[in-house]
Amino acid sequence: MKPAVKRIGVFTSGGDAPGMNAAVRAVVRTALHHGIECIGIRRGYHGLISGDFVKLDFESVSDTSRRGGTMLYSARSKEFMTEDGLDKAVATCKMLGLDALVGIGGDGTFRGLLTLANKGISVIGIPGTIDNDIACSTYTIGYDTASNTALESIDRLRDTMKSHERCSVVEVMGHRAGHLAMSVGISCGATVVLTPENELDYDRDVVEPIRRARLAGRTHFMVIVAEGVPGGAYDVAQKIKEALALDTRVTILGHVQRGGSPTARDRMVATYMGHAAVHLLAEGKTCRVVAMKGDDVVDYDITEALNMTKGLEKYGLEVLSDMTGI
């Protein structure tokens, strides 16, 4: 069957996530397999406005899936949010002869794609963010790698905390979502895990779990704080010190969680999603977001996807409650 598109563009936008390169690779190679030409747009919407592009072929994406970051770079563009910037982006699509765009990123990326769709551009979104906060998808590219990176750092911290009988307060990324904190907290056996989704009561959620752990014989404590928690890790650490007179140290893991070679899971999910995105375009479908529903690859209308909501996984919360006693 002849594909509905002849030339497509692919770009990454917003925060980078391990596995984005694997998604780009899958888009390019699937497109070439169907006789579709593929153009890489560098620096996200900023590059789309300025016409920063590169022609991608089979060899140009070889050996990229194992690399962290994004080979197409990423940037945020305030200009794209203006009518003039949007018109420039549409003009670039016309100048390059692009029949469609594949955007890899988070909700902001999808909102940008929707504005382009309203201007007549065919678009497909792929969820790529370490925060795992895309409501329409149970899993997002980069989440597993970021979780493992944070876990490795926390395991190292635990060794030194045990040696000095300290309380370690570790802030992990996640923007306004606690998925990463919950995953890491369960995996490392944290004493306390704080997420922005749950209303915080310091006595109940922080002081008492640490006190119970000390009464049980533990002399070191690991507190995981999602970056969206009010006050952040430093405020939490100060209150712990005041309430329990503990030697408390703060570690902000920061952007180290975005880096590193993607895990097998991130490479595979990214490849599946990139493959599915091209197939949707080849079939003439547009304005869709590729997503994971359990282990299955599905797709949703972008507007429907943006209107969905996503809380912390209920079973994870139950496990966390039983493990920490909160």
Task: State the residue for tokens 């969820």.
Answer: 127
Q: Cα separation of 29 and 279, whole Å?
A: 12
User: In whole angstroms, what is the distance from residue 196 CA to residue 131 CA?
Assistant: 13
Return the exposure string of 143-178: e unless at least 16 CB atoms fall within 10 Å of the residue's CB, then b: bbbbbbbbbebbeebbeebeeeebbbbbbbbbbebb
Residue 129: closest CA among 148, 108, 158? 108
Concatenating the DSSP letter of every residue in 87-107 gives HHHHHHHHHHT-SEEEEEESH
Return the H-helix or E-strand segment holding 53: strand 53-56
In angstroms, the CA 197 to CA 194 distance is 9
Q: Does residue 131 have an active-site annotation?
A: yes
Please provide residue 190's backbone torsions phi and psi, each rounded to the nearest 5 degrees.
-65, 150
Antiparallel, parallel or unpaired: β 221-226 and 192-194? parallel
Q: Are 128 and 35 in contact (CB under 8 A)?
A: no
CA distance 114 to 302: 7
Catalytic residue among 16, 99, 107, 131: 131
Which residues are catalytically annotated?
Answer: 131
